[in-house]
């Protein structure tokens, strides 16, 4: 308390405002979010797509040259290749963008786990404030059912138990007690501390806030989530290697054909008149470039993207949401997933599944804390009014909200 210059009576409103300016709001901060435009433009960074874009530019130049030399040539005929390749590139970008834009919500899911409100003691009085306004030095009031707004050291604990599954993965509530611990004790063993985004399941207590926002243990996890570097998938690596080899091949073919055309102009036909020579040079260049463009399989990126999109849709039906479309190939080949259970495969929300009353086993359906489900006895619907007194006793014998 001396270090944070506070007391059991908490901070004054004036001091709390000063600390809010000093430490910032108690919330998870998101790095500069990738805009929709950036996600769309990222679809054009693929080497294969770049080759196709170059092919589009060259096709436009060839079309322009054809119309210049033969004015009777129709617009569609002259620019057919450019329109076709350009359309494929844009279609490829739209499909990739749609899939990735819908999945850019990693931090939003974590923000939903933080508390919206918090009870603190200020100037000796208990007040309800926005959780984002909690500052180091505040005294948190914790009761069963509360989601804890910040990291803190316990000042008081009356049979307090906290579910720390969001941090440790363990669904069993941890009994908390006031006391001192050695430095560098793992989070799961810090019995004298409470942490942001965890929630009290039993008892009550008070805690001195020591860290808020991104300085909390939960905030550190949020920061690491945003720092994850993406690795190339095997499919993308293979396509990039193929694109590089194809690019080199196309350039070599273009040069060889151009050299052969020059040899024919200068040696075979022995053209020396400058105007005619330049015309033949341009024709030779356009011919070599046209052949090079025709060697590019412009439909490949679209075929790959559509195939991956179909794979992603199939995986989504099985509750596997893919953030990057290129990951569909890798995830689709997975046979075994090693995963933490609590908070990942399950919600960490303990609910009643069976009730034994009047020599009957009553099954309770539903998922998590949602007020949906029904009572069944031997698979048949059961009227809960028959056990209304038991349900009322169960509700009144705990202090959950």
CATH of the domain at 181: 2.70.150.10
Q: What is the pTM of this model?
A: 0.58
- Any idea what DSSP says for residue 215? G
HSE at residue 301, side-chain half, CA atoms within 13 A, is 27
> Which of 57, 53, 61, 74 minimizes the C-alpha distance to 282?
61
**What is the pLDDT at residue 273?**
72
Same domain, 187 and 237: no
Residue 184 annotated in active site: no
Neighbouring CB atoms inside 10 A of 291's CB total 15
Same domain, 213 and 240: no
- Is residue 19 a part of any domain in this protein? yes
pLDDT tens-digit profile, the chain (401 residues): 788 888 888 899 999 999 999 999 998 887 666 777 888 888 888 777 887 888 788 888 878 877 887 788 788 887 887 888 888 888 878 877 876 676 555 556 656 666 688 999 999 999 999 999 999 999 999 999 899 999 999 999 999 999 998 888 787 899 999 988 877 888 888 999 999 999 898 899 999 999 999 999 998 988 887 776 666 677 778 877 887 888 788 888 888 888 888 888 777 777 667 667 777 777 777 777 777 777 777 677 777 777 888 888 888 787 777 767 777 777 777 888 887 666 667 766 778 899 999 889 999 998 877 778 899 999 899 998 889 999 899 888 876 65
3-state secondary structure 227-286: HCCCCCCHHHHHHHHHHHHHHHHHHHHHHHHHHHHHHHHHHHCCCCCHHHHHHHHHHHHH
Asked which of 301, 324, 346 is the last residue of a domain, the reply is: 301
Per the CB < 8 A criterion, the answer to whether 205 and 157 are in contact is yes
Which residue, chain included where needed, has tokens 């694109």? 243
Asked which of 183, 198, 225 is the last residue of a domain, the reply is: 225
Give dist(CA 154, CA 140) in Å, integer: 9
The continuous run of DSSP H or E covering 300 comes out as helix 299-317
3-state helix, strand, coil in the chain (%, to 5): 50, 15, 35
**What is the pLDDT at residue 339?**
76
Exposed (0-12), middle (13-18) or buried (19+): which is 200, by Cβ within 10 Å?
buried
- Is residue 4 a part of any domain in this protein? no
Interior/surface letters 155-164, b for 16+ CB within 10 angstroms, e for the rest: bebeebbbbb
Partners of 121 in the β-ladder: 126, 139
Same domain, 140 and 221: yes
Helical axes 274-294 vs 47-69, angle rounded to 10°: 140
- Any idea what DSSP says for residue 7? -
Same domain, 88 and 120: no
Asked which of 193, 225, 257 is the last residue of a domain, the reply is: 225
Measured between alpha carbons, how far is residue 84 from residues 56, 279, 326 in Å? Answer: 9, 28, 24
Same domain, 391 and 255: no
- State the residue range of the domain holding 190: 13-27+113-225
Q: What is the number of residues in the chain?
A: 401
Same domain, 221 and 237: no
> Which of 162, 131, 137, 148 minimizes the C-alpha distance to 15?
137
Same domain, 42 and 140: no
Same domain, 241 and 277: yes
Same domain, 220 and 135: yes
> Which of 198, 97, 86 minimizes the C-alpha distance to 142?
198
Sign for the pseudo-dihedral over CA of 180, 182, 184, 189:
negative
Neighbouring CB atoms inside 10 A of 336's CB total 5
Give dist(CA 392, CA 168) in Å, integer: 34
Same domain, 151 and 194: yes
Catalytic residue among 130, 340, 359, 383: 340
**What is the pLDDT at residue 317?**
81
Distance of CA 139 to the CA centre of its chain: 34
361 CB-near residues (< 8 Å, 6+ apart): 354, 355, 377
- Is residue 132 a part of any domain in this protein? yes
Same domain, 98 and 118: no
Give dist(CA 39, CA 27) in Å, integer: 26
Please, what is the Cα angle at 343 between 310 and 105, to 5 degrees? 50
- Is residue 119 a part of any domain in this protein? yes
Per the CB < 8 A criterion, the answer to whether 135 and 122 are in contact is no
- Overall domain count for the chain: 3
Give dist(CA 379, CA 381) in Å, integer: 7
**What is the pLDDT at residue 162?**
94
Partners of 362 in the β-ladder: 355
């Amino acid at each position: 308390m001396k270090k944070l210059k506070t007391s059991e009576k908490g901070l004054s409103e004036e001091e709390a405002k000063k600390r809010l300016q000093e430490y910032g709001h108690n919330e998870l901060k998101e790095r500069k979010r990738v805009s929709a435009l950036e996600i769309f433009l990222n679809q054009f960074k693929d080497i294969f797509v770049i080759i196709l874009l170059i092919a589009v530019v060259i096709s436009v130049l060839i079309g322009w040259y054809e119309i210049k030399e033969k004015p009777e040539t129709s617009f569609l005929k002259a620019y057919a290749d450019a329109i076709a390749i350009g359309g494929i590139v844009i279609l490829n970008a739209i499909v990739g963008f749609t899939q990735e834009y819908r999945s850019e919500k990693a931090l939003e899911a974590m923000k939903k786990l933080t508390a919206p409100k918090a009870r603190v003691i200020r100037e000796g009085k208990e007040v309800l404030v926005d959780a984002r306004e909690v500052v180091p030095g505040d005294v948190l009031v914790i009761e069963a059912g509360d989601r804890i707004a910040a990291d803190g050291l316990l000042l008081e604990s009356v049979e307090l138990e906290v579910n720390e599954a969001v941090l440790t993965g363990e669904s069993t509530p941890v009994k908390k007690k006031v006391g001192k611990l050695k430095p560098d004790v793992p989070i799961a063993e810090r019995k004298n501390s409470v942490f942001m985004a965890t929630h009290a399941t039993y008892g009550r207590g008070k805690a001195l806030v020591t860290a808020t926002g991104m300085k909390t243990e939960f905030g550190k996890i949020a920061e690491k989530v945003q720092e994850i570097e993406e690795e190339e998938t095997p499919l993308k690596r293979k396509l990039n290697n193929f694109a590089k080899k194809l690019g080199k091949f196309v350039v070599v073919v273009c040069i060889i054909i151009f050299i052969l055309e020059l040899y024919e102009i200068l040696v075979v036909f022995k053209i020396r008149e400058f105007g005619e020579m330049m015309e033949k040079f341009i024709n030779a260049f356009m011919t070599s470039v046209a052949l090079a463009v025709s060697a590019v399989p412009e439909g490949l990126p679209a075929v790959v993207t559509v195939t991956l999109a179909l794979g992603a849709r199939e995986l989504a039906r099985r509750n596997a949401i893919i953030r990057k479309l290129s990951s569909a190939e890798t995830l689709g080949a997975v046979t075994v997933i090693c995963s933490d259970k609590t908070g990942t495969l399950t919600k960490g929300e303990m609910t009643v599944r069976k009730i034994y009353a009047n020599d009957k086993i009553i099954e309770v359906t539903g998922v998590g804390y949602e007020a949906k489900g029904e009572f069944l006895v031997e698979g048949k619907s059961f009227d809960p009014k028959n056990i209304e007194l038991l349900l009322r006793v169960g509700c009144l014998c705990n202090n959950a909200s």
